[in-house]
Copies of this chain bind each other. A is one copy, B any other.
Amino acid sequence: MTNEIRVQKYGGTSVGSAEKIKKIATKIKKLKDNDPNEKIVIIVSAMGKTTDDLVKLAYICAKTPNPREYDALISTGENISASLLAMCLIEIGIDAISLSGAQAGILTEKSHSKAKVIKVNPKRIHQALDQNKVVIITGFQGINEHEDITTIGRGGSDTSAVIIASSLNSSLCEIYTDVEGVYTTDPRIVKNAKKLSEISYEEMLDLAHLGAKVLHPRAVECAKTNNIKLHVRSSFSDKEGTIVKEASSMELNKTVTGIAVNKTEAIVSIIGVENKAGVAGEIFELLANKNINVDMIIQSVKYGNLNSISFSIEEDDLQKTLKAANTLITKLHAKEIKTDQNIAKISIVGVGMTSKPGVAAQMFKALGKHAINIKHITTSEIKISCVINRDQADEAQKILHETFNLHK
């Protein structure tokens, strides 16, 4: 498409220091030098660990920080990086303006911390573009009808970028990050992991949910819904990255597209609960109330008529979970609670899987051949996940990468 507004998002490591921000400015200047009339909108995250530092301050001040104040606080990081980038651009002769979420017209729900965007009123964005300014917009933040600052959830700058691209009728959103694209699996573990030139929204969604940190799942979902292609690429090179787009136009020959590994979960088992209706409901309602996210749930029958219920959670939530589970022991007449932290979840993902039977068997056999015991299995249409010992995760990742020919 011609005359489309170019939308780029730069993540926290890309704007991690004033020096890095200067580099980004030089990168943007090149585009303007190439086509002085190109309309460019940039969305930025906060610099490096700024947001984490602000979160720490909040939790010194309050055990449960007030959500309105929390949003006002943690949104400041993006204001800093946006104005610095604008300054850098102006300094090298490129007219630019930073806009906060409010100034950019990003209206969200009233609620705080994970506010959904209701609509974008891009009037001021267009005004600035018409004056041939590069427009720098703070990611992660918006404003609600009370004119209070809201944030749209962690990893939200990717989502901000997609929403803004959509409101500007752009069909593509470039996501600049510290890696060169989406890989078949983590190249730090598997040396011959390959960068994918493209991947479907669905696969990317699963990989993102399963532990690939390159994109936030919500941003992928949002891109899918609004039919916006994502180009995931490196801030520090000019190489083409990975295009995330509709599966339909892609070859389905490849069975497995990528492998994700999550090593941050633990399994909690409540052993010997009564086999009666409502028990599982009671357990997971309690966990939900405590804001504990449950990933896999495995129910198995043991001890005659008694059940065991196992589930996986983020390791960080383990103490909170055990505290909650213990309150249930008496109520449910459970025998005991066990935990297993020596686990990793390894998942293979691919839209081609749906049309090819035997993929699961191939996975299990390959692991078995190398004496890697599978503790649990969960599957969906386009992915198969196995829980294995954490200390065998790297080995398993290499084996499966080889098994499904991802290095080719």
CB within 8 Å of B: which residues of A? 18-19, 21-22, 54, 57-58, 60-66, 68-70, 72-73, 76, 79-80, 82-84, 86-88, 90-91, 97-98, 100, 102-103, 147-148
Contact = CB atoms under 8 A, between A and B. Distances in A.
Contacts of A73: 79-80, 83-84, 87
10 contacts: A18-B61, A61-B87, A62-B90, A66-B90, A69-B83, A69-B90, A70-B87, A72-B82, A72-B100, A103-B148
Nearest to A136: B69
**Count of chain copies:** 2
A305 B116 CA distance: 78
Contacts of A65: 87, 91
A82 B98 CA distance: 23
B68 A97 contact: yes
A290 B225 CA distance: 55
A82 B19 CA distance: 29
A148 B86 CA distance: 14
Nearest to A74: B83
A62 B76 contact: no
A280 to B, nearest CB: 36
B98 A83 contact: no
A147 B88 CA distance: 22
Contacts of A69: 83-84, 86-87, 90, 97-98
Contacts of A18: 57, 60-61
Contacts of A66: 86-87, 90-91
A98 B72 CA distance: 8
Contact of A70 (B58, B61, B70, B83): B83
A312 to B, nearest CB: 33
A79 B72 contact: yes
B83 A72 contact: yes
A91 B72 contact: no
Nearest to A76: B76
A384 B359 CA distance: 92
A317 to B, nearest CB: 23
A147 B65 CA distance: 28
Contacts of A147: 102-103
Interface core residue of A21, A57, A63 (most chain B CB under 10 Å) = A57
A54 B80 contact: yes
A63 B91 contact: yes
A22 B60 CA distance: 9
A80 B76 contact: yes
A179 to B, nearest CB: 25
Contacts of A68: 97
